[in-house]
Structure 1
């Protein structure tokens, strides 16, 4: 038991409660679900990027030994997955994504038919017998093609290939500001298309429960209630007739926070056959045909005065979103994020931005950890670096002159930033690198002809988006709130539910810490339930670093309400007001008599087994529910990353010698978990900066269908990361916590790119695109004239 009232668990590195199960092989993932009579499914997928479907002949498929059934879109008669933005048609073009392609295919890997067999091998054999006849159409494979006059249309019902086109925050007189500015710098940057690459690929197991008259769908999703909604609509069932269960999940990173076509088709096959059906995505399909992200093009300029203070920011953003809008976020997720928040941690007095989402014949895009923030932070930080060089200023000093220091601060983007440690994190990061001797080592290395560079990035991570923030983007489906329930049984054990869903974030630990503190009970008494639409009233799932900020706040409120009921029952037994009692170590204590206590077990027995003793104003049982939403602009974590790299002339390799992260996510519920989020996010950010990219040839064929082609960094390429914590408690959440899930990914590309450019300083070469390939670095070091920036 807890030994003292002030022995709080929030803020302590409590050991992860998930680890004993997961590390001993007792985790239960989708592929571990085995049901009697279960069949296995795989998908006939398009082999061309753009074509009309002349014929889909599954006759031979159905004759393959072991194949039980094969269905096309016409066989299953499913509704479409439709994502909407409530913006005018001039700003947003709606498109429907069929569960299985019907008349046209729009990317290589698009599912056309589902094959169901007695085992996975027979299903694969069945795929080879499918005969699909295409009437090939010209594919659109890049931005220039998509935006060209008279370009082929990815969606024939549209008049152009731009799905979202918004112009925001056009400050009056901004052109005059740029015309008169002493210093104007420009950056044009492109970032590579990436795969979120969770360790566990997507998958689903569906079966019909005849007793409950309910379709049960086990799937690895970050948004179980959204999957339920879409499945019920596509299958034309009441939502009550669909139950979505999420077992343990091996990563998601945003890839699984949208509704996939394959999980709906698997459910449809199980419903038709009245037998369990399992689909597990293979790695080839996961790399080439799953949701991708990050392919963006920025053209930006910034105006500065002679002292290095920014006067204005002007940007054009084009995001290649692939063939379809995802549900529920739509193709607007990337350009709207970039447009709304690009000014970031700096005091930008004038701002103009145009954000566009274009559609191409590539796999569609889903939110990926950070959603545009790694890209626009990289662009803004490059502008800072370029201005520093133009004005002869130290790159850290120019940031100091522009960074937000007074809070709350309402930016030119009409977003109000809550208090943070923007300047403090920058100063501490620079101090850490100086005290480690890196500036001296850099000077010595340059004297030896070696190429060592130091780079920084400063950024904020908007977290805890509530319904107000999402509604401002004019979304038809408006995420935001979360619901939680706390229930105590007669043994004094507590079960808490949350609408968030863990895919590696340690919810079973951090949520239990919050509840244990709120009820003053041993953490071993607390159990979290998540990821079951029949047990969780409603929830928006996990994305945008909302789990602790929003979900944790709802859990804290529900636990506090349960504690109030315990105190009310105890007070009634003693005949005193509830405010004269307090919770303490699994008991309720009288404030005026510390020796007078009633255990939770005693109070639970009264609530359940002796309810006749309860006053009429107290209901039987010990259950409390609570909702939480954020009705302001959200809360902002912040950080500064500092990186030291060495460029190797012979190979063009970029070696990271040191990495420092100074982060502030408010109250860290569990510092060890926060550090894990930082390190994992930084690894993904480094991957985007130096390694990962999916490209397409002129016919729309993806380049990366295996790890031979898709370059994923290993432990050898990811450096040890030194992490320093600052703490500015949040005033808008119940725990004082801000989100911490995406910051590592947001800051890493900019810091790495700036460090590389610092290492190239003597060559007068500047690089602005990612990933930074060895070929590019080698060419810059050996033939600098070919790479010079105008």
Structure 2
């Protein structure tokens, strides 16, 4: 179908300026909170103040007496169906949990919505919350993995024995215990990672109104998955799906937190339906930090066997993920333990593997996906195992990785995943060389002589991207994401509009996908426009997550553009009386090869729309085509190696990052500048998890972090400049040759930072395996505290 190979195009592979920037930088973006409709009301939520309790009574009668309050609704008033996320696994492995839109009989975390207050303005809505009276019959909260598994522990959900929602044991290689018995070297790690908030700049929000003309509920919301929001909203409100339209305006970040269906958006839509007036809800930062979807709280106990030369022989891992109070829709509580279990071997040639993955439910805000989903955690575990084995065997930490990374492709691992070609060894070698060329090893030695503490750490990993239907089906998901659909159409002026089922929230889709279309059709990029985020306009789509936008969505876009190109060539060929192969597309026109004959797209469009009698009988009027794309193999694998250089300050325990190097390979980089932006942003979030961010709770389940005074977010001062080098291994399974690039920075950073800190701590004999790494822990280690706990 293609006119020319994509990599030979004029735009793909170039740092085309972002088309979004003029609008956004000039303040002309349109976000949810910018939407103002006639007669619009404002909503906020009465939320639970306790972590675990039966609801004794919910008295909202006084709320209606507050000036400005128009209505207040509880679960009994709205009678909404629950949100239920399910896996197709047997009940012995997976326990589904029903999440009510508004709590009915029980609350399971501080911040759970109980009632929605609707008022004439946002201030009156907040005042109305104060008048609500909720009585609780408190229950003991379950606030940790240990408490959840304890004998006689309170049950967060009666149906979840031992507070376990998912319990899967996978890949138990025969004879693995014997391997550990005879291996020359066995190392272990016990690793915990802190609970985090994805922290998009724009909090969640929604504006809903009823359209009488269309007999349709229109929901404007900042979501990464508009079609899934439509499906769940229609089911909760018991409406035909046609009667719900979800529209996504500009969105200020998501990072996975917005790729699950929230309760508040549905409640706001229900209130608008009931009142027949527009209702707006904007999440405040306190609720965003404490009651929105969180992530990352995981515990790994892992051991690995190595031979005398440093070759890994076996890996045995127990994974426990604290998923909070409910399963998220559509991914369920299985998202983190299943990801970790399936993909933990990563870039290494692992002969034997055994893993048990569990999702535990606790009285904390629910867990949803966050950039990387378990991969920052299990990569950190793998890299710690290799660091420990290197020390045990007296090997260089880079050399032991070099001996174990996959080099022959395609490679099918012990986890039954087939890895497409990548540059694992090349990225490792180049990253090490860049660090050496800058003289960091010499600087480290000189600093040690001065009594300073500089450490160098590496992280080598892959990022599975472009999960298709086959990959998600292996997880036995009831909702199986995968394919994407794109429509490309040309109007009579020769301008092309195209759609994608993915959802931009900062990834530059308006630019990168337009580059693909413009190259395919030989068209000025100024004449190519993207339309997304409207469930009435886009047939169906699974949105943006798991680095699928360019791999899946971009491939569908290219296929659709190629089909339109075929039609343009066919129409031009019929006018000249030649075959379509005699026609090429360039500079906004069809051109007859080896002649001066040119037919501008405007003239072809006139024929297709206004002079259809001139079309051949086998060509339909109009210039609109649709294409779908799915990946039916195991996905595509981007890869990278990160290196981090840190200095530890004895006086304060501060970890200062002196240098950060990234060598990444995401196949064909459609726009290298955008790829680098994704990489830098991801590394910043990875550093945040390694050193700063954590949501903790007291014994009664009260979250510690309800504002930026408590939730430590790195600033530009803490994030270093990042040296990025690109390698390119084109993907054979996507139409663009691209692999995903959205999550790699976050995946590799925690391990690189932790390894660098441990390298700097080596003279102290202390090793840290937990994140975030606190200044207190580093200070104790450097100052020889005798009772130092070897975790942070």
Deviation at 1:156, TM superposition (A): 2.0
How many residues end up aligned between the 2 structures? 787
Give the counterpart of 1:533 among 509, 529, 535.
535
- Residue aligning to 1:750: 751
DSSP-derived class of the 1:402 partner: coil
Distance in 1 separating the partners of 2:409 and 2:216: 51
DSSP-derived class of the 2:123 partner: helix
1:606-628 deviation line (CA, Å, top 9, x unaligned): 00000011111100000010000
- Residue aligning to 2:701: 700
- Residue aligning to 1:342: 344
DSSP-derived class of the 2:154 partner: coil
DSSP-derived class of the 2:608 partner: helix
Distance in 2 separating the partners of 1:240 and 1:578: 40
Q: 1:9 to 1:564 in 2, by over 3 A?
A: same
DSSP-derived class of the 2:493 partner: coil
DSSP-derived class of the 2:136 partner: strand
Distance in 1 separating the partners of 2:708 and 2:585: 55
- Residue aligning to 1:634: 635
Query: Structure 1 residue 610 and structure 2 residue 608: aligned?
Result: no
Distance in 1 separating the partners of 2:296 and 2:149: 18
Distance in 2 separating the partners of 1:87 and 1:437: 53
Deviation at 1:785, TM superposition (A): 4.4
Q: 1:531 to 1:82 in 2, by over 3 A?
A: same
Where structure 2 has 5 or more consecutive residues not aligned to the other structure, the ranges are none
- Residue aligning to 1:117: 119
- Residue aligning to 1:729: 730
- Residue aligning to 2:167: 165
Structure 1 contact 780–786 (Cα < 8 Å) conserved: no
Structure 2 contact 95–159 (Cα < 8 Å) conserved: no
Deviation at 1:95, TM superposition (A): 0.6
Structure 2 contact 7–13 (Cα < 8 Å) conserved: no
1:697-751 deviation line (CA, Å, top 9, x unaligned): 1100000001000000000000000000000000000000000000000000000
- Residue aligning to 1:717: 718
- Residue aligning to 2:397: 395
DSSP-derived class of the 1:780 partner: helix
Distance in 2 separating the partners of 1:661 and 1:6: 27
- Residue aligning to 1:312: 314
Structure 1 contact 680–744 (Cα < 8 Å) conserved: yes
Distance in 2 separating the partners of 1:750 and 1:718: 16
- Residue aligning to 1:740: 741
1:563-584 deviation line (CA, Å, top 9, x unaligned): 0000000011111111111111
Q: Superposed, which structure 2 residues align to 1:375-394 within 5 Å?
A: 375-394=377-396
Structure 1 contact 5–585 (Cα < 8 Å) conserved: no
Structure 2 contact 73–116 (Cα < 8 Å) conserved: yes
Q: Superposed, which structure 2 residues align to 1:41-440 within 5 Å?
A: 41-440=43-442
Deviation at 1:121, TM superposition (A): 0.1
Distance in 1 separating the partners of 2:96 and 2:107: 17
Structure 1 contact 685–746 (Cα < 8 Å) conserved: yes
DSSP-derived class of the 1:115 partner: strand
Structure 1 contact 41–123 (Cα < 8 Å) conserved: yes
Distance in 2 separating the partners of 1:119 and 1:469: 46
Structure 1 contact 38–275 (Cα < 8 Å) conserved: yes
- Residue aligning to 1:442: 444
DSSP-derived class of the 1:711 partner: coil
Deviation at 1:592, TM superposition (A): 3.7
Q: Scaled by the length of structure 1, what TM-score is found?
A: 0.99
Deviation at 1:160, TM superposition (A): 2.8
DSSP-derived class of the 1:442 partner: helix
Distance in 2 separating the partners of 1:523 and 1:5: 16
Structure 1 contact 645–658 (Cα < 8 Å) conserved: yes
Deviation at 1:5, TM superposition (A): 12
DSSP-derived class of the 1:218 partner: strand
- Residue aligning to 2:487: 485
1:330-384 deviation line (CA, Å, top 9, x unaligned): 0000000000000000000000000000000000000000000000000000000
- Residue aligning to 2:465: 463
Query: Structure 1 residue 684 and structure 2 residue 690: aligned?
Result: no
Distance in 2 separating the partners of 1:516 and 1:591: 20
Deviation at 1:98, TM superposition (A): 0.2
Where structure 1 has 5 or more consecutive residues not aligned to the other structure, the ranges are none
Distance in 2 separating the partners of 1:149 and 1:609: 76
Deviation at 1:789, TM superposition (A): 5.9
Distance in 2 separating the partners of 1:450 and 1:115: 57
Q: 1:6 to 1:359 in 2, by over 3 A?
A: closer
Distance in 2 separating the partners of 1:501 and 1:463: 16
Deviation at 1:467, TM superposition (A): 0.4
- Residue aligning to 2:18: 16
DSSP-derived class of the 1:786 partner: coil
Moved over 6 A (4+): none
- Residue aligning to 2:550: 548
- Residue aligning to 1:506: 508
